[in-house]
Chains A and B, each alone.
Chain A
Amino acid sequence: MRQAARLFGSGALLALLMAGSGSADPDHDDLIVNGEIDMIERAPAPPYVEAFDEIISGWSFRSDETQALQMDDFDNPGMLGVERARVMFDTPMGSGGQACSSCHETPEALRGVRATYPKWDEERQTVQTVEMQVNECLTERMGAEPLGYDSPEMVDMAALIASVSRGMVVNVAIDGPARPVWEQGRELYYTRFGQLELACANCHEDNAGRMIRADHLSQGQINGFPTYRLNNAALISVHNRFRGCIRDTRAETFPVGSPELVALELYVASRGNGLTVEGPAVRN
């Protein structure tokens, strides 16, 4: 199966080259952010990702100009959200008069969080995303109102939490009690949705590296989320992106924060085990 897929892939590439439209392969540029954070753009695929030998960051699929925006925090518009979240981090919220910094001191204390989420939560007996964890802090420890799962404030906070883990290797656990949720996510990944009857895998496995009209299809890795999308001129959460993809298949989508999208996030995140945390990345 794997062999056949590869043969088919190289045949298509040859046809493209012969047609003179040039290679649509991701490039081999090296991503170093601020001249100091050296990212891993390519890594051996985890054993459960059968379609690829190598997993590749979405950054490698973008144009040089878009790539450059992520290489310097000054140029990265996603860092504006990170700055807003830094202010929020020190702002007391809720009945306890506490801020995030009352417990966590600085955002840097949360270094490493992004690399292992979504994660099984023993206390809650469920898989928790970073967003769910933020709301748990807000409602249960700080006596504050929860943030909307996909609200600008939440996306900013998620971007801040991702930013302090940049350069760390994604290492999401898929064994133990998280296993059934991971399997549900895998099931969703290969399920065809909508009038167009497309599964995630139809674009991001079968056609990764090819052009879908003017856009260069990536492997759909989520190590760069929340991502500043030039398309939206805003930071976009991973669930928002999932919804966009499912909507494009002309399907009814799952709500942000739903168990289905949490399961899908766990599965897709695990497909990037070995790449580095890039959020907030810059993409199309």
Chain B
Amino acid sequence: MAENVTPRVRVPETATAGEAVLIKTLISHPMESGQRKDAQGNTIPRSIINRFTCDFNGQNVIDVTLEPAISTNPYFEFEAQVNESGTFVFTWYDDDGSVYEERKEIAVS
């Protein structure tokens, strides 16, 4: 079970219609690969964020499958074209079944 998992998102508060806005996301997570062994030689169980999605007003923007080689605190930066005001919903899926969600409003003029 991963501890201290905190999602962070940066989305501009305003944009003009049709603009591609820059979105940055980061989630603090150890991303234990499942390949490492502890001091006693036992395999440390895999514990990663395995999927990340971003939706805007119900429409999918990005859907990512994460693999064990991705390093700790996975960071995503991408652009999304916005034509109307609305809400971005960001979702991270953990191996342990936890789902972390973050929402950001954007006002489009």
Q: Which residues of A contact B (CB under 8 A)?
A: 74-75, 77, 80, 83-84, 233
Contacts and interface: CB of A to CB of B under 8 A. Distances in A.
A84 B4 contact: yes
Nearest to A81: B28
A74 B26 contact: yes
B8 A74 contact: yes
A83 B24 contact: no
A75 B24 contact: yes
Contacts of A233: 71-73
A83 B72 contact: no
A83 B71 CA distance: 20
B36 interface: no
A84 B5 CA distance: 11
B78 interface: no
A83 B6 CA distance: 10
Given A74-B24, A80-B6, A84-B4, 12 more contacts: A74-B8, A74-B10, A74-B26, A75-B24, A75-B75, A77-B73, A80-B28, A80-B73, A83-B6, A233-B71, A233-B72, A233-B73
A77 B72 CA distance: 10
15 contacts: A74-B8, A74-B10, A74-B24, A74-B26, A75-B24, A75-B75, A77-B73, A80-B6, A80-B28, A80-B73, A83-B6, A84-B4, A233-B71, A233-B72, A233-B73
Contacts of A83: 6
Interface string B22-44: 00101010000000000000000
A153 to B, nearest CB: 12
Nearest to B71: A233
A194 to B, nearest CB: 26
Contacts of A74: 8, 10, 24, 26
Contacts of A84: 4
Contacts of A80: 6, 28, 73
Nearest to A233: B72
Contacts of B8: 74
A1 B73 CA distance: 48
Nearest to B9: A74
A77 B75 CA distance: 10
Contacts of A77: 73
A77 B28 CA distance: 9
A84 B4 CA distance: 9
A127 B6 CA distance: 37
A84 B3 CA distance: 12
A70 B4 CA distance: 22
Contacts of B24: 74-75
A83 B75 CA distance: 17
A193 B17 CA distance: 64
Interface in B56-79: 71-73, 75
B98 to A, nearest CB: 18
A74 B6 CA distance: 13
A226 B71 CA distance: 21
In the A-B complex, the 9 residue pairs with the smallest Cβ-Cβ separation, listed nearest first, are: A233-B72, A80-B28, A74-B10, A74-B24, A77-B73, A233-B71, A80-B73, A84-B4, A74-B26
B30 to A, nearest CB: 9
Contacts of B6: 80, 83
B12 to A, nearest CB: 13
A246 B28 CA distance: 31
Nearest to B8: A74
A52 to B, nearest CB: 35
A61 to B, nearest CB: 23
Nearest to B25: A74
B27 to A, nearest CB: 10
